[in-house]
Amino acid sequence: MALLHFFPRWFLLGILVLTSSLVQGQRYPNKPKHVITGAPGGGIDFTARIVAQGLTTTLGQQAIVDNRGGGGGIMAGEITASASPDGYTVMVYSANIWLSPFLQDNVRFDPVREVAPISLVSSAPNTWVVHPSLPVTTIKELM
C-alpha cells in the first residue's frame, strides 16, 4: 500500500525534471536593440554610438542608433516612453529631458513616471565666463 503512495510522487517529480527545459524563456537578446537619441551629429549622438557599439559587442546582438531630432529631445522621449517595456529600447539623452515638461507645453509624456535612468554614460563640465571688469568670483556673486 505504501508503494502506491510513493510511486505517484516520484513519477510526478520525474516528469517535472524532464520537462522543465521545455518551458524556459527565450534567449535575451534575440532581436536588435534600439538606442534612441536626439538629432545626429552632436555630443549625445556620439555618446549613443559608443553605447551602441558596446551593447553590440557585449550582448552579441546589433544595437541600432535611431536619431529622432525635434522638440529639443521631446520626440526621442515620446518614442522611448511609448516603446514596449521589453528591454530592447533605450534612450541616450542629456539631463534636459527631465526639464522638458517645465519648459514646453506640448510634452505628451511624463519623464519622471514613464522613463527611468539606468546608467550614467558620460559627464560634461560646464564653465561660466564673465568679463574681467565684472567684480565677481563666484556664481552666487554673479546672481
Share of the chain above pLDDT 70, in %: 83
**Cα separation of 89 and 58, whole Å?**
16
Q: What is the number of residues in the chain?
A: 143
Task: Report yes or no: 48 and 41 within 8 Å, Cβ to Cβ.
Answer: no
Q: Find the range with the poorest average confidence among 6-20, 56-70, 82-96, 118-132.
A: 6-20
Report the 10 Å Cβ neighbour count for 55. 19
Q: What is the mean pLDDT of residues 23-47?
A: 86
**Cα separation of 68 and 86, whole Å?**
20
CATH number for the domain formed by residue range(s) 33-114: 3.40.190.150
Amino acid at site 68:
R
Q: What is the pLDDT of residues 1-10, one digit of tens each?
A: 555 555 666 6
**Cα separation of 12 and 25, whole Å?**
22
Helix (H) or strand (E) holding 100: helix 100-103
3-state secondary structure of 115: coil
Identify the pLDDT of residue 16.
64
33: its cell numbers: 536593440
